[in-house]
Amino acid sequence: MQAHQIDPSADLEAAKKPAIIGIYGVSGSGESHFLGQLQERFGTQQFQYYDGSTKISEVTVGGLAAFQAATKDERYLLRQVAIERIQQECSDGGRIGIVTGHAVLLDKDTRALTDVRTAADARVYTHIIYLDTSAETVLRYWQKDNESKKKRRPELPLEEIEAWIAAERDLVEKYTCLFGMPSVAIKNPGDHETVMMFLEKLRIPDQKHDFSMVVLDADKTLAPVDTGIMFWEIFGEKTGKAKHASHPLKKIFEDGQTRAAFLKAAQLYEDECSADMYEAICTEVANKVELYPEMLTLLQRIQESHQTGAVVVTCGLRRMWEKVLERAGLSHVSIIGGGRLSDGCLVYGEIKAALVARLKRRHHLYVWAIGDSPLDLQMMLAADDAVVVVGEQASRSTTMESKLADAIEAYGTSFRVRQVLLPANAPHRLDTTRLPFPQHWRDRMYQATDTDAAKILATATRDANNRGPVLRQAHEDVGRYLATQFLGDVVGLERYDIEHVQGRTDLGYRLANEEKTLIVALMRAGEPLAFGINSAMPSAAFLHAKKVNDITMEHLKDRSTVILADGVVNSGKTVVEFVDYIRAIDENMRIVVVAGVTQADAEDKRLFLVTLRVSKNKYKGIGGTDTGHRLFNTTFLE
């Protein structure tokens, strides 16, 4: 397989998030009335208005009564579904959402205050308006509702209402601060002037991102090494403290990678190294560090771009990475990092996340976050898009797998995260359904040329004694092998329930979105291979195509993937004709070419290429050596 090249700007237009404004306030603070006032004042051309309870009722089978009778976990999930549905509707309609909601609610049974925010709230809401209604006013509203029997409000003394308001206000303040959300407090619900100034000041109507920023970790992300370990190994060699210095940071971080731990690490560098020694070791380590070629290419492209910037944010040694990037000709890339205590900068997970949030909220940038470990997870969650760098199994983080899985489960589709393998033959993390490969990065060739399986399967296709049904079966076997071995990496896998032979329900796997896949057999030579692929994707549509216009718009309707199957790809001219034709109809279609044999120079960077063998033999078969004739016993025609 070939390596990935990163192109963040390619996904920019497809990944815009709508502005969603949350209106927070304790129950009965006038949030519904305020929402109605906003709708009357600002209209519906640019804004879409939602009562949070109404939307929850809509997504709950059985309505609000069923929601209230549900378990705590079920209510949590339904709240997430509701806010994500709002986000999707606003994205589809191109409008700004304004939603009423609560951070804290009163448990009717225990009368305890409960935090009812969900993980999706942090990803969906972009701005917060807080109704800072006084406890006296809330009490008066409650009394009116109870008298009119419009709503049943709790009967609480004034001091408990004040405690509720304080808890709501405190959570909202911490929430907006942590995620860098612009917010405004409104004491008078009729204060439309303040709201209007708030919206205009923050440029909410303008959802265009003219500039994007790529925020990258350093160790194990830009290069496959841990420069901290390298530093202390060289320190041990220079000072004779090899035993003490082999992994002195291990003990510091054994209880977690906290701010206090990083502070101790900075003190360690200060205490153990003079300024001259620190500089010398940083230089020596930097001279040994080689960037991943893909990361070097990425940063070089960003250097040439007028719409994308890059900043490296490292918990490691800033001075060392300055030298690494300078040596690579990338001195233009800014680096935020620490090192010794005297450097005056301390970076840890929360700092990375805060930087990403600031770039988004204050500077209106579209932010990509690229990292490899749990220390990078917070900034990935805060970013618009995230990429996990997956290195060699022996050297990558052992805890990242479970933490990634937890984050994906908690945040759902609002966590836009992908993985890239560096090197390209590294085993991927999780599965490619939950953690897919970036669709707009340079596509890859998957090949099995030197594997034992390829040698065995290719033997049957190359044997001159095999022709007709025997040869067709050999090609079909190749198609099924390529589909099961490689297509999962391209299209992903999906899980589904199966009936186990022992009589219980178990978990099964299949290639994702079969029903949205079209398999096209190119010419007759591609048919047996296509049948083999189809056997691994039985729900996919199947089509024979001799010329490009055999594929119609109707064939491509509602498809997300087209698989072009050909026995042999020589120059690639025919394949390119089909690709150009399909792209003209749907430029975003994922196209995968699957072939038994592909000539070495036939690769096209716009598509995925899956092949059993890559051959440097440019010989084109005729008559008895033509694949199509051999497959169907028509060698006598030439």
88-110 confidence digits (pLDDT tens): 898 878 788 999 988 888 877 77
Q: Is the pLDDT of residue 173 over 70?
A: yes
Range scoring the smallest mean pLDDT among 161-170, 327-336, 429-438, 537-546: 429-438
Provide the CATH number for the domain formed by 445-637 in this structure.
Answer: 3.40.50.2020
| Structure confidence at residue 179 (pLDDT) | 66
Q: In the structure encoding, which two tokens stand for residue 537, read together?
A: 């994707």
Cis peptide before 423 (omega within 30 of 0): yes
Range scoring the smallest mean pLDDT among 71-75, 236-240, 416-420: 236-240
Is the distance from CB of 439 to CB of 5 less than 8 angstroms? Answer: no
Domain map (residue ranges) of the chain: 17-201, 212-421, 445-637
> Residue 39 — pLDDT band, cuts 50, 70, 90?
confident
Q: Is the pLDDT of residue 206 over 50?
A: no
| Structure confidence at residue 4 (pLDDT) | 33
CATH class belonging to 212-421: alpha beta
> Residue 504 — pLDDT band, cuts 50, 70, 90?
confident
Q: Output phi, psi for 245, to 5 deg.
A: -95, 0
Do the domains spanning 17-201 and 445-637 agree at the CATH topology level? yes
> Residue 588 — pLDDT band, cuts 50, 70, 90?
low
**CA–CA–CA angle 138, 139, 140 (5° rounding):** 90
Q: In the structure encoding, which two tokens stand for residue 360, read together?
A: 């988004």
Residue found under tokens 């609560």: 102
3-state class (DSSP) for residue 604: coil
> Residue 192 — pLDDT band, cuts 50, 70, 90?
low
Q: In the structure encoding, which two tokens stand for residue 357, read together?
A: 């949030």
Is the distance from CB of 341 to CB of 318 less than 8 angstroms? Answer: no
Residue found under tokens 């439309």: 192
DSSP 375: G
| Structure confidence at residue 595 (pLDDT) | 93
Q: Is the pLDDT of residue 190 over 60?
A: no
**CA–CA–CA angle 42, 45, 47 (5° rounding):** 65
- Cα 18 to the center of its chain, rounded Å: 17
| Structure confidence at residue 148 (pLDDT) | 77
For 535-545, write each residue's pLDDT tens digit. Answer: 999 999 999 99
3-state class (DSSP) for residue 113: strand
Q: Is the pLDDT of residue 587 over 90?
A: no
> Residue 294 — pLDDT band, cuts 50, 70, 90?
confident
CATH class belonging to 17-201: alpha beta
